[in-house]
Chains A and B, each alone.
Chain A
């Protein structure tokens, strides 16, 4: 296989993801409703309750809306990734996953390309959200919009790989409801998305440590610091490391040895 074959395949998978996204464009709008509700309603209510001291990367006191905006960016990617995993389980049950896996190109390449394709759609949604957040005075520096791009891509790869891994382990579409309870909610609430970690430490030290071990915390911090033009090597390092581990596990889950990729057991 030549480099051109890989390129055509890469473009083909990206194109298909965008075409599917265009077919389901109402999902794009509805996916924005959730974080916007948090930003406008939840944050307004909690602004008075939660005092935010000056913590890095912020140079001064900030509003609660400003604090949670990076966490909500992570939320968009988290929900999209799990939605992507759901669609992969759906694809597998319908058989279209086989079309992807039948390609003569290496499976790790196919799966990483698919992750990137899903990630690009998520990143697009995050930018639309950040533009709408300007209406409630969440105004990061202009260059922050560019600086945050690597963090958004890395986060979408990490969560996409997690979604892919989950998709390899879920036998049936019906089991997906459990993912909401056991993956999305704990990951989001036990992170720095909604409250600073020092605040969590004051409330409950063991919860604080769970938050510290939650890779989503570090993804959110990578987004937060980058958006405000600060470099957080720890957050980037942990997010990248977890991405690699999850991607390797997910790719291994799609080896032919794992009969689950066929969906139902053939006879």
Chain B
């Protein structure tokens, strides 16, 4: 298991945002965290990335407790945030090298790994261009390449397709799925867009801070007696 979350609860002041959320992710698989806006997805990401402190429950990342061994746990994850977190004035390569340095990698190693990831994402030719010159889809690819530099076992993506056109969204989703299959990476892809989720994916449906469903997409549909995930999502959350 790459993430084991047990009884996670979180509140902002008096407002509960996550209520007793428990799940475990399977290694090397694509997981979709599906929930309408305001479901608590970003808060869950904040907890998984230690930007928010755990108030209640336990989180293990690749067997390491986020509370007790934060440094070891953080080395296991690569993150792509909902907002763009690239330095637009720096080049693609400079952005990657900065991230690599923050993970303690030498310049030489950063260069080698950076070029390898850029090649995988077909962006090596643009390594020396300022990020500002890239379109939204390419910027997202750079962010994923950056998240993979320190060779994490788990990739977290928080609504990575926000602001992208349909074609770019589809391409990015496809790219991450290939990565997951080829590199054996565990992926947690948070989204509110049902078209980014496939019937075979492991799906976690979050709504109003509660995990309403957790399992393979087709199993969830069978259990709910619905035709497809879109209908399930609508039935459970009223969204879609």
Contacts and interface: CB of A to CB of B under 8 A. Distances in A.
Nearest to B66: A256
A20 B72 contact: no
Contacts of A263: 83
A98 B85 contact: yes
B104 A8 contact: yes
Contact of A96 (B38, B42, B51, B85): B85
Contact of B87 (A5, A9, A96): A96
Interface in B98-117: 98-107
B74 A20 contact: no
Contacts of B52: 256, 259, 262, 266
Contact of A1 (B12, B40, B71): B71
Contact of A23 (B12, B71, B86, B89): B89
B173 interface: no
Interface of A: 1-2, 4-6, 8-9, 11-13, 15-16, 19-20, 23-24, 94-96, 98-106, 110, 255-257, 259, 261-263, 265-267
Contacts of A23: 89-90
Nearest to B36: A267
A256 B45 contact: no
A257 B53 contact: yes
A104 B74 contact: yes
Interface residues on B, range: 35 or more
A232 to B, nearest CB: 37
A102 B99 CA distance: 10
Given A98-B81, A99-B99, A256-B52, A265 B12 contact: yes
B114 to A, nearest CB: 12
27 contacts: A4-B106, A5-B103, A8-B104, A8-B106, A9-B103, A9-B104, A12-B98, A12-B102, A13-B98, A15-B97, A15-B98, A19-B94, A96-B85, A99-B102, A101-B51, A102-B50, A102-B51, A103-B74, A104-B71, A105-B102, A256-B52, A259-B12, A259-B52, A262-B46, A262-B51, A266-B46, A266-B52
Nearest to B42: A266
Contacts of A261: 51
Contact of B42 (A11, A101, A267): A267
Contacts of B102: 9, 12-13, 99-100, 102-103, 105, 110
A99 B85 contact: yes
A108 to B, nearest CB: 13
A254 to B, nearest CB: 10
B84 interface: yes
B188 interface: no
A251 to B, nearest CB: 15
A259 B52 CA distance: 6
B25 interface: no
Contacts of A99: 85, 98-99, 102
Contacts of A105: 71, 102, 104
B75 interface: yes
B104 A6 contact: yes
Interface string B35-56: 0011111110110011111000
B118 interface: no
10 tightest CB-CB pairs across the interface, nearest first? A12-B101, A5-B104, A266-B42, A256-B53, A95-B83, A95-B85, A103-B102, A104-B74, A267-B38, A23-B89
B90 A16 contact: yes
Contact of A12 (B17, B42, B72, B97): B97
Given A98-B49, A98-B85, A267-B40, A11 B101 contact: yes
A110 B103 CA distance: 11
A226 B75 CA distance: 44
Given A12-B98, A16-B98, A262-B46, A102 B79 contact: yes
A256 B79 CA distance: 17
Given A101-B51, A266-B42, A95 B104 contact: no
Nearest to B101: A12
A6 B45 CA distance: 26
A98 B80 CA distance: 10
A238 B138 CA distance: 50
Contacts of B100: 8, 12
Contacts of A110: 102
B103 A103 contact: yes
